[in-house]
Amino acid sequence: MTLRSCHSVVLAAGLGTRMKSDLPKVMHPVGGLPIVGHVLKVLGQTGSSRLSVVTGPGMPELEELVGDLAPDARCFVQTDRLGTAHAALAAEKALENVTDDVLVLFGDTPLVTAATVEKVRGALAGGADVVVLGFETDTPFGYGRLLTDDGRLVAIREEKDASDSERKITFCNSGIMGFAGEKALGILQAIGNDNAKGEYYLTDAVEVANAKGLKVVAVAGTEAETQGINTRAQLAACEADFQASKREQFLESGVTLLAPETVFFAHDTVIEPDVIIEQNVVFGTGVTVRSGAQIRSFSHLEGADVGNGAVVGPYARLRPGTVLGKDVRVGNFVEAKNAVFGDGAKANHLSYVGDARVGEASNIGAGTITCNYDGFLKHHTHIGTGTFVGSNSTLVAPVTLGDGAFVAAGSVITRDVAGDAMAFGRSRQQSKDGMAKVLRDKLKKAKNQKS
């Protein structure tokens, strides 16, 4: 990372009309993070010491989101949508007295990488006054072409203005640009609107800079990382590319994916080497899986920490606040929420464990539930070390089971159970000889009378 300072301007005023949504376009998620959040995250990784985000009028939710994701960022409102250069100049005050690098990016390009942003900054550090990020594509139709001559970027030619030979060029404009800080504001202010739409286009910065005798160059990224999002179809395509990249990343890092195309990750998923992930697993945000763990088929995890050697699923759901210790077993159709399992604890099937602490080497029988909610407040269940809870038990919180306690199957536990005590919380069984035959005969007679 360069030691030069950097001020980044993120253009995020688009309404996303074609997405047919009341939500601002850049707030739609990719990998569980709003689109603009990906851009802000990368800029943070690449040393942007100052951030400006240009929003549109009436977007308080976007400004609030930016404040949450990047507390030091400033939001500026583009009151009239008069083109991309006009949008960048909404942050004009913030661009005064900038000395090193200025980046202008679009808020709807969530896949741009830190390495590519560093390429742009590297070119600025090498003496360029304007840097345009381009990409090679086999399908350049609709993109502005980058016209170069002996390493110099001469112009950006839009599709409608390009000659036949220029349309054959496959090096295209991504829209991401870098400026030498002391020249950035002057270049942007010199851009005019002498065009059919009367708008101020950021691409005209190339012509302005060349007219001033400044050094203008292009650097290359990839088509996938520079793709923008304007429609739901493009959002889905971007999500697919994000997932493909994540799968490749984890495979290369030593994670086993039995059917990679069926596993879905969030932007912040952390998985250590030697983890095995089976088919059809979904990771929401905030999940960490430690080495040696196994996530079995059809499981869903969010906000959970899975310990070394733990086995989750199949068909398990781990909700936020779940922490599994070493060698824990959380099996099929088990749901856990805000629950901490000590090393070696087991809940192998058909249970709900919420707002609870399960001690080391404890066993939760099938059908057990912790009744943590009384309609108004949540309550905690504490299960000690080496405790056994029999099948189909109901633990009514707040309640504590001491170390080594034993709860008989089918019990409803409403009071604390001491360590090494056995608790029965069920009605006494009664058997009446011959009564089954009497009942069957009675029911059969009633049925015959109705027919």
The residues that are catalytic are 349
Rounded to a whole number of angstroms, the CA Rg of the chain reads: 30
Name the token pair of 204. 């005209």
SS3 384: coil
The number of beta carbons lying within 10 Å of the beta carbon of residue 200 is 21
Given 3-state DSSP classes, what are the helix, strand and coil percentages for the chain, each rounded to the nearest 5? 25, 30, 45
* Strand positions, DSSP E, 269-380: 270-271, 276-277, 282-283, 288-289, 294-295, 300-301, 304-306, 311-312, 317-318, 322-324, 329-332, 335-341, 346-349, 352-358, 363-364, 369-371
**If you search the block for the tokens 């002057």, which residue do you land on?**
186
Separation between Cα atoms, residue 419 and residue 1, nearest integer Å: 57
* Residue 61 annotated as part of some ligand binding site: no
Pairing of strands 29-30, 33-34: antiparallel
Query: Cβ distance 206 to 132 under 8 Å?
Result: yes
294 is in an annotated binding site: no
Give me the residue label for tokens 């099937």: 349
Q: Annotation-wise, does 391 bind a ligand?
A: yes
SS3 state at 408: coil
8 is in an annotated binding site: no
Nearest to 101 by CA among 118, 115, 85: 118
Strand order across the 406-407 sheet: 256-257, 276-277, 294-295, 311-312, 329-332, 346-349, 363-364, 388-389, 406-407, 422-423
The annotation status of 430 as a binding-site residue, yes or no, is no
The annotation status of 337 as a binding-site residue, yes or no, is: yes
25 among annotated binding-site residues = yes
- Residue 80 CB-density burial (10 A; 0-12 exposed, 13-18 middle, 19+ buried): exposed
97 in a known ligand binding site: no
> Has 366 been labeled as part of a binding site?
yes
Whether residue 11 is annotated as binding a ligand: the answer is: yes
Give 229's contacts (C-beta < 8 A, 6+ positions apart). Answer: 25, 28, 35, 108, 109, 110, 235, 238
Q: Is there a binding annotation on residue 373? A: yes
β 29-30/6-11 pair status: unpaired
Question: 364, 407, 406, 359: which is closest to 385 by C-alpha?
Answer: 359
E strand residue ranges, 48-88: 50-55, 74-77
The residue type at 99? T
- Is residue 93 a known part of a binding site? no
Beta bridge partner(s), residue 72: none
How many other β-carbons are positioned within 10 Å of the β-carbon of residue 305?
19
First-to-last alpha carbon distance for the chain, in angstroms, is 86
**Residue 197 marked ligand-binding:** no
Known binding site for acetyl-CoA: residues?
366, 372-373, 391, 409, 426
Known binding site for UDP-N-acetyl-alpha-D-glucosamine: residues?
11-14, 25, 78, 83-84, 144, 158, 173, 230, 319, 337, 352, 363
Known binding site for Mg(2+): residues?
108, 230
Known binding site: residues?
11-14, 25, 78, 83-84, 108, 144, 158, 173, 230, 319, 337, 352, 363, 366, 372-373, 391, 409, 426
